[in-house]
Every structure is written in structure tokens, then in C-alpha cells.
């Protein structure tokens, strides 16, 4: 299973060239195998960006979420296990959304596709793929 970070999901759905060839292939393969997932917190993050005018998706955040799910990307809800576990991650930046996304990947035994330098550099056994590659 692959969990995709928020910015990488936006890159994937918008055709952003910053998404690297290797990552795009990995995500496409995962999508075809029904093993590509996103944390529900990513939809909250995107909604915040849309509301603040920081990104334009050409649709509402809710409409974009529907489009993402219609592609076959699996949404992982934030449950109590993920919420609690996210607070125990030593050395991880304090951003709550990042912590939830990382906890989701770890607890689901998934790799994380991200370009976030802080998450890529974090000292942990979490499998990661730099989304720019």
C-alpha cells in the first residue's frame, strides 16, 4: 500500500511536472492495484488552501475530493488509533496533519510518497519515496 502526501496528491491530479517519473509510475501501479490511499486529513489541508486562495483546483474542495475518490484512490479515515499514535512519533515535526499522515502510513504498513524534506529526513523505518523522483 502507498499513502500519498497532500502535495503529491495535488501534483498527481493536476499533472504537475514536479511529480517525478519514478513516483508517477509507482502511484499509477498502486492505483491500478487498488493500493493507493490518502489520509482524510489531506482533504482538510486542501480545503484550507482553497479557502485561503492559495491553490485553485478548478472546483470546490468537496468536488475535488469526489474526483480523487472516483479515480479509485482509497480514503483512510482518522480513527482513535491513528490520532493517539500520531502524538507518540519522536523527532517528527509538530505539524498535526503531517503527523496524522505519517501515523496512517505506519499503522497501515504503507510507504509514504512525499516531497516534504522534514518527512524524508526523519529518522525512522517508515518506507518513503521522494515524490520529486
pLDDT in tens, 31-59: 999 999 999 999 999 999 999 999 999 99
Average pLDDT over residues 7-15: 96
By residue range, what is the domain housing residue 93?
A: 2-130
Q: Are 4 and 105 in contact (CB under 8 A)?
A: no
Q: Give me the pLDDT at residue 19, please.
A: 98
Of 48, 86, 52, 46, the C-alpha closest to 66 is 46
Cα R_g (the chain), whole angstroms: 14
* Residue-wise burial string across 48-79, b where 16 or more C-beta atoms lie within 10 A, e elsewhere: ebbeeeeeebeeebeebbeebeeeebbebebe
The pTM score is 0.96
What CATH number has the domain bearing residue 32? 3.40.50.1010
pLDDT in tens, 84-120: 999 999 999 899 999 999 999 999 999 999 999 999 9
Contacts of 112 (CB under 8 A, 6+ apart): 2, 3, 4, 5, 101, 102, 105, 119, 126, 127, 128, 129
pLDDT in tens, 67-93: 999 999 999 999 999 999 999 999 998
- In the chain, how many domains are there? 1
Mean per-residue pLDDT over the chain, rounded:
97
Amino acid at each position: 500500500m502507498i499513502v500519498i502526501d497532500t502535495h503529491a496528491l495535488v501534483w498527481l491530479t493536476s499533472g504537475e511536472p514536479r511529480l517525478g517519473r519514478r513516483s508517477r509510475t509507482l502511484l499509477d501501479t498502486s492505483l491500478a492495484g487498488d493500493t493507493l490511499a490518502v489520509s482524510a486529513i489531506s482533504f482538510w489541508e486542501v480545503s484550507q488552501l482553497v479557502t485561503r486562495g492559495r491553490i485553485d483546483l478548478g472546483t470546490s474542495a468537496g468536488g475535488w475530493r469526489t474526483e480523487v475518490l472516483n479515480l479509485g484512490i482509497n480514503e483512510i479515515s482518522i480513527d482513535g488509533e491513528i490520532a493517539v499514535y500520531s502524538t507518540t512519533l519522536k523527532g517528527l515535526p509538530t505539524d498535526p496533519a503531517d503527523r496524522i499522515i505519517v501515523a496512517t502510513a505506519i499503522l497501515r504498513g504503507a510507504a509514504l510518497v512525499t516531497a516534504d524534506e522534514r518527512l524524508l529526513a526523519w529518522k525512522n523505518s517508515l518506507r518513503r519515496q521522494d515524490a520529486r523522483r
